[in-house]
Structure 1
Amino acid sequence: MNVPLDRVAVVMISTVGNAVHTLPVVNSLKAHRPDSRITWIMQPGSAALVRGHPAVDEVVVFDRTRGAAGFAALRKALAGHRFDVALNLQAYFKSGVATAFTGAPVRVGYDRARARDLTWLFSTGRLPPRPRGHVQDEFLEFLEFLGVPVRLEWGLEPTEEERARYAALLPDAAGPTVAMVVGTTKEEKEWPAERYAALADRIGGELGGRTILVGGRSQREESAAEYIRGTASHPPLDLREWDLRRLAYLLSRADVLVSPDTGPLHVGVALGTPTVALMGHTNPRRYGPYRRFGELLVDAFGDPGEDYPIDAPNRAGRMERITVEQVMEKVDLALRRYRSVSPEGHVSP
């Protein structure tokens, strides 16, 4: 579609993971038109990850938890803007309203089959109908629609200033560093705390490595971290904090990341940190690590030999299928395969 790209609004007001998946879109747009101005409408929690990103000229925060007041604040924040095109990467009513608030003459969204909550009503242009794919691939369809070449780049690496700011958190160590994420926004996606404790002991005892806890400080994360540190003979260093740039730094330093399906998992993959994904509740084919570290995935979503479809819905009670032995095998594989790739043990796209 031939549309002006001088002023682009990107609407993605969802999770940290989806913010990560949006980055190749904004990077590709900026590489295609370096003089374009890209405004990203997003929720407060994810904004800290990308504010200051070289491909993002402006972040407009939409706090959807405020209800009508949040919508009013967003409308006011966008009142002085003029956009050529708005891209609605979500399929929810709230994102459709946010897209309408941009006032862009061209508003691109999903086809009717994939647009939930009547979001197709807010679009003047729609992606061609396609079967469901990985979330990242669906976001990249917007570039194809606009005729913009894809650059599969995220640009989440810590800056030199951030490296200096956070360096004291993680001194150099002789053995490997394995980061562990213990919490998500949904309890059904989490791995039992006692198994993280057992994994920390095996990493410390068998590999001479250290483990660190990264992520947020929700009530469940606090409880899990307290249990792990109080139970493990080799307790992990607790470095959790509500600071996404600090998280990016820590994951850039880790040799391996072990994580369920949550935002830090996708941050780690984007950084090239070898990532052991623990997936049972959500579908790995749609939400798993994108094009990297597939051999490190622990897939408890499907039954042995099952060829489940990419649009298979969430499945309950699967995370407890994942054993410590399975995860330890993947950690060992990650260290053997990737640790010598670069000084930090990371791989390029």
Structure 2
Amino acid sequence: MRPDRSPRSADAPPRRVAIVLMSAVGSTVQGMPIVASLRRAWPAAHITWVLQPGPATLMAGRPDVDRIQLFHRRLGARAYSRFRREVAAETFDLVICLQPNFKGGVVTRLLRAPKRLGHDRTRARDLSWLATNRRIPSAPVAHIQDELFEFLDHLGVPRRLEWRFHFTEAEREVSARWRERFSRPVLAVVPRSSNARRNWTLEGTARVIDAAAGDLGLQPVLLGGDSEEELRDARRLGELCGAPPRVALGGTLRELAGRLYASDLVLAPDTGPLHMAVALGTPTIGLYGYTDPERSGPYGRFTDLTVDRFRGRAGADVERKPSRDTRRRRMSRIRVEDVMLKLERAMRSYLNT
């Protein structure tokens, strides 16, 4: 591989930059500090971010991104031919591939640029390193946010841990009116991730909802999408709970972000709304068993509120890091008592301040 001559702080900044990070909502939130840092370091650069249509709605009104280029994943194989047609006339000085998998590699290769920066070969999956000609140095596995920050370090760009959703005044008024419907502190409960293995039991969730309402004086409200699975879970929780929670499912991603911002506390498994809530500054209790919170948990804040059963309870499991087979059962190891302790801590440490 040729020597790395990626732009650094002492060099002239690139004029046209493309960022490839088109995974789900959580990854999009993790990309926000990257574009904010690049914009501050390279104010004159034209920055394009390749995103899927859903997460792209979260980026509305961002002054640090000049253009959103959509990748229509739902089209399957035809998504790549459509993307190729749409970017055929575009050229860039630098492409930064933050998505080290097959899809990210193909999209990166379709963007014309003399410099394509990606992960090192060890961390680049599906041979995606073949799409890049510049790579960040190899490093131990770390939190995904830190891994993305390594790209800034490599480029000589100062890190900025900045999440801003750039709500319009109208959006702020809508979320404020939504919050006024509740007289008690709102506990936003997100019961479901798109990956069912990350979900806690509905029976445990129902018991926490009842205790939060009856013992802690909170108003539980179900948040999330309006898929068939989420609506079914909401109906089941209504049956399991002594006092059914309020339901506010559906709406756009930006409406969901506004409700998470207006809530007082959030309870969620490892899912996009969890990362949105953390970025918005709403105290968030994260439920982890299937995924590793040290890699994909809340970053920079509210780590003291994470329920971690990925490694089991201290002294209870000989195995520190579970195997692929045993981690499937880890979410069921979360106890109601574990979650209530975190809720009580959140109220003491955050609501009272």
TM-score interval (norm. to shorter): over 0.9
Residues 157 and 252 in structure 1, CA contact (< 8 A), matched pair in contact too: no
Confirm or deny that 1:2 pairs with 2:12: no
Greater mean alpha carbon deviation, residues 128-137 or residues 306-315 = 306-315
Residues 175 and 207 in structure 1, CA contact (< 8 A), matched pair in contact too: no
Q: What is the CA-CA distance between 1:22 and the residue it aligns to?
A: 0.7
Residues 193 and 270 in structure 2, CA contact (< 8 A), matched pair in contact too: yes
Which of residues 140, 154, 157 in structure 2 aligns to 1:145?
154
Q: What is the CA-CA distance between 1:311 and the residue it aligns to?
A: 10
Which of residues 36, 61, 75 in structure 2 aligns to 1:66?
75
Distance 1:88 1:144 in 2: 15
Q: What is the CA-CA distance between 1:106 and the residue it aligns to?
A: 0.7
Change (3 A) 1:214 1:299: same
SS at match of 1:295: helix
Change (3 A) 1:310 1:52: farther
2:349 aligns to what? Answer: 337
Distance 1:335 1:30 in 2: 36
Q: What is the CA-CA distance between 1:287 and the residue it aligns to?
A: 0.8
2:169 aligns to what? Answer: 160
Change (3 A) 1:7 1:310: farther
Residues 179 and 258 in structure 1, CA contact (< 8 A), matched pair in contact too: yes
Once the two structures are superposed, residues 35-71 of structure 1 have per-residue CA deviations (whole angstroms, 9 ceiling, x without a partner) of: 2211110112211111322222111110123122111
Greater mean alpha carbon deviation, residues 161-170 or residues 33-42 = 161-170
Distance 1:157 1:311 in 2: 39
1:96 aligns to what? Answer: 105
Give the TM-score taking structure 2 as reference length: 0.91
Distance 1:273 1:310 in 2: 29
1:328 aligns to what? Answer: 340
- Please list every run of 5 or more consecutive structure 1 residues that lacks an aligned counterpart in the other structure: 342-349
- Please list every run of 5 or more consecutive structure 2 residues that lacks an aligned counterpart in the other structure: 1-5
Within-5 A mapping of 1:6-85:
6-85=15-94
Within-5 A mapping of 1:193-204:
193-204=202-213
Residues 255 and 335 in structure 1, CA contact (< 8 A), matched pair in contact too: no
Q: What is the CA-CA distance between 1:190 and the residue it aligns to?
A: 0.4
Once the two structures are superposed, residues 249-308 of structure 1 have per-residue CA deviations (whole angstroms, 9 ceiling, x without a partner) of: 111111111000000110111111111000000111111111211211111111233697
Within-5 A mapping of 1:265-284:
265-284=274-293
Residues 13 and 62 in structure 1, CA contact (< 8 A), matched pair in contact too: yes
Confirm or deny that 1:257 pairs with 2:266: yes
Q: What is the CA-CA distance between 1:118 and the residue it aligns to?
A: 1.0
Distance 1:77 1:309 in 2: 47
Number of aligned pairs? 341
Which of residues 284, 293, 301 in structure 1 aligns to 2:310?
301
Within-5 A mapping of 1:123-142:
123-142=132-151
SS at match of 1:158: coil
Give the TM-score taking structure 1 as reference length: 0.92
